[in-house]
Structure 1
Amino acid sequence: MTQTQHEAASGVAIDIRTLPKISLHDHLDGGLRPATILDLAAGIGHDLPAGDAEALGAWFRESADSGSLERYLETFDHTIAVMQTREGLIRVAREFVEDLALDGVVYGEVRWAPEQHTAQGLSLDEAVEAVQEGLDAGAAAAIAAGRIIQVGQLITAMRHADRGQEIAELAVRHRDRGAVGFDIAGAENGFLPSRFAEAFTFLASEQFPVTIHAGEAAGLESIQDALVAGRALRLGHGVRIAEDIEIEESADEEQTDGQEVGIANLGRLAAWVRDRGIPLELCPSSNLQTGAIEAFGSTIDAHPFDLLYQLGFKVTVNTDNRLMSGVTLTGEFELLVDTFDYDLGDLLELTLNAVDAAFLPLEDREALAAHIASSFDAAAAGASGGAPGAGS
């Protein structure tokens, strides 16, 4: 069985890499190729902690795998440093899309903070335009190679800075030129979304969609504030909503598939998120590395992903930062299959959750959902029939 061919719970081998995927939570400055960082750093005289691509990639992964979000974020000093010129932004964005397409992503939303990329004289608008040029070039190259991909920008404001309104206006200015949504990111503890209340009111008045990093480094208060003050349509990570769920063991100790049956009691906030279908942008490997799931355990099988999925939350699968975590979206799906015995039907449901959550017009989401369902049907038929490339 190849690296991307996995036995699902149904016993059918599936080639996850070839399945169409949706990427909603993927940071531009967290997805660079190590070789590109080396090239760009050499051009500006920026010192790096390693001198070859393999060693540099290993340094990023080791530094990120610390159990601390703050330490995780320190790795971005090097990627952001090489993304301060128009040429650097174009190259990084182009390669970002090319790598997504190679991984089977057909629709991606790329989040990044333009305010962090003006140190060498670019204006905010020039930075956004450079990234869009790179995204367009990457999509064109992928399409020329026979792959389908569409990509949009999530313009992000840094929550510890005081530029929320300015960045919100920037996002709206570019809404018809690649920007599809707004986000706030950075240190979550101590910086609630409500400090940008004016910006979120402006975005709501412009009917511009918002996703907010919440429920990762901070807990339920962060999620509550993102929904109330931020008017978030999606929760970036949001994994700590599981802290508002109490599992009561069944008195008769029934078992299903070898596991004890329990009763889940949802708190008011968890019930609101689930019952309203507010999407969670879960990033399994990253959530483990940053300590976001430490209340549940220190191994991937302790991740509340499956708990949330089984309880009917609209969970989606994402990578967060592919360079730092050393992951791909294919790899994250493989991890879930291996950990929770998901089958092709589960992967389809998770993918369609992401389609429904995408910041796209309804007609586009319907067309995308139809394409994905058709592709999964073909994969299932090929796998069961032993077709080449589908697990044979």
Structure 2
Amino acid sequence: MHLSDNLPASAAAAAPAVAEWVRRAPKAVLHDHLDGGLRPETIIELARECGYTGLPTEDPAALGVWFRDAADSGSLERYLETFAHTCAVMQSREALFRVAAECAEDLAADGVVYAEVRYAPEQHLAGGLTLDEVVTAVNEGFREGERRAGGRIVVGALLTGMRHTDRSLEIAELTVAHRASGVAGFDIAGGEIGNPPARHLPAFQHLKRHNCHFTIHAGEAVGAESVHEAVQVCGAERIGHGVRITDDIAEDGTLGHLAAYVRDNRIALEVCPTSNLQTGAAKDYASHPIDLLRRAGFRVTLNTDNRLVSGTTMSREFQHMADAFGYGPEVFEEFTVAAVEAAFLPLPERRRIIDEVIRPGYAALTASR
């Protein structure tokens, strides 16, 4: 069985069949949340082990359906509520190690060769772990998952500060302290409305002083002004989602000053189509702004956001875009190369992945079609 077939029933019913060439295509994901991608059966088993009784059901298939349906509200705030259950069972070293290892395995099984997976360490302290212990457990889990996948994937962690709390500087310091052990960079996430990124400016300044990478969720629930603040005030290297940058693009395709700046400076947009539909940032796949952004020359990357909550995989996201816009392997190679070029990796490693894994993989894929 292919991993992308093993989806919640509601997601499988809504999703088209994934073409074999899509499954085989090398993929890179920059925007994937650890606590949004658990296997339903793992959630149930971990809940039993830690005594958590808040799950809506203990049937794996039904639980997968529940997560997808709960997220299909059109509201980012309602979407974020689903994470109370996953975080509740991720409060021990063993649980974090298992979830991280399975994440790497699942991504590799879907053809992902490079991934940056993000999570908020402050949300995993209820069981008595320290922030350092949380990061160490996740990093060790990713290394185990890479080993189980036979070295077919490289996974880096992004440590996330939450917009609505006051620990972002502490998490930025944690990012700097652990970047030699598998932490690739920093992120700010959570409810965008009423929580502007500039509130966390000390964290971004600390990261800059230490030459550390960071991305910022922006332009998802709030318009282009959110992207402007993330880029011009905070100095984001990438934008999580960023689809509302289209607010600064006229109907005739003319780019405003902000949109032109983001495009011309190659600031990557971490676009997550299925998630955008769920949170109301887009109406449907056919009208999703990813095609407009691509044609306008933005550095667009394609991502999952939350595989469990969105009932998706990278293969599913590829297939949705292929069905909506007629994209073939050449476009997905473009997205994948863009993702690795924007990855928080040393330049030689980015070049190695592109030249030795992605380019040959797509060449073989094209030759066999």
What TM-score, normalized by structure 2, do the two folds share? 0.94
1:305 alignment counterpart: 290
2:75 alignment counterpart: 68
1:139 alignment counterpart: 146
> Equivalent residue of 1:247, what SS?
coil
How big is each residue's C-alpha offset from its partner over 1:188-226, in whole Å with a ceiling of 9 and x where there is no partner?
111111111111111001010010000001111211111
2:38 alignment counterpart: 32
1:382 alignment counterpart: 368
1:278 alignment counterpart: 267
**Which residues in structure 2 correspond to 1:65-144 (within 5 Å)?**
65-143=72-150
* Residue 51 of structure 2 is aligned to residue 45 of structure 1: yes
Contact residue 14 and residue 379 of structure 1 kept, 8 A: no
Alignment coverage as a number of residue pairs: 353
CA RMSD for the aligned pairs?
A: 1.5
How big is each residue's C-alpha offset from its partner over 1:270-299, in whole Å with a ceiling of 9 and x where there is no partner?
111111111000000000110112xxxx22
Contact residue 31 and residue 323 of structure 1 kept, 8 A: yes
Structure with greater helix share of residues: 2
Separation in structure 1 between the aligned mates of residue 35 and residue 353 of structure 2, nearest angstrom: 27
Separation in structure 1 between the aligned mates of residue 3 and residue 164 of structure 2, nearest angstrom: 41
Separation in structure 2 between the aligned mates of residue 322 and residue 292 of structure 1, nearest angstrom: 18
Separation in structure 1 between the aligned mates of residue 153 and residue 3 of structure 2, nearest angstrom: 23
Contact residue 200 and residue 229 of structure 1 kept, 8 A: no
Separation in structure 1 between the aligned mates of residue 90 and residue 20 of structure 2, nearest angstrom: 37
Q: Which of structures 1 and 2 has the bigger CA Rg?
A: 1
Percent identity at matched positions?
A: 55
1:174 alignment counterpart: 178
Separation in structure 1 between the aligned mates of residue 67 and residue 206 of structure 2, nearest angstrom: 37
Which blocks of at least 5 consecutive residues in structure 2 are unaligned? Answer: 5-18
1:388 alignment counterpart: none
AA in 2 matched with 1:156: T
> Equivalent residue of 1:111, what SS?
strand
Contact residue 3 and residue 109 of structure 2 kept, 8 A: no
The CA deviation at 1:3 is: 11
The CA deviation at 1:344 is: 1.3
2:8 alignment counterpart: none
AA in 2 matched with 1:81: A
Separation in structure 2 between the aligned mates of residue 315 and residue 14 of structure 1, nearest angstrom: 24
Separation in structure 1 between the aligned mates of residue 72 and residue 214 of structure 2, nearest angstrom: 29
The CA deviation at 1:247 is: 1.6
How big is each residue's C-alpha offset from its partner over 1:45-92, in whole Å with a ceiling of 9 and x where there is no partner?
212101210000000000011101111000000000000011110010
1:191 alignment counterpart: 195
The CA deviation at 1:14 is: 5.6
User: Residues 14 and 35 from structure 1, CA distance in 2 versus in 1: closer, same or farther, beyond 3 angstroms?
Assistant: closer
Contact residue 14 and residue 344 of structure 1 kept, 8 A: no
**Which residues in structure 2 correspond to 1:141-156 (within 5 Å)?**
141-143=148-150, 148-156=152-160
2:167 alignment counterpart: 163
Structure 1 runs of 4+ with >4 Å offset: none
Contact residue 3 and residue 106 of structure 2 kept, 8 A: no
How big is each residue's C-alpha offset from its partner over 1:139-180, in whole Å with a ceiling of 9 and x where there is no partner?
00101xxx5110010010001100111110000000101111
> Equivalent residue of 1:37, what SS?
helix
Of 357, 361, 365 in structure 1, the residue corresponding to residue 342 of structure 2 is: 357
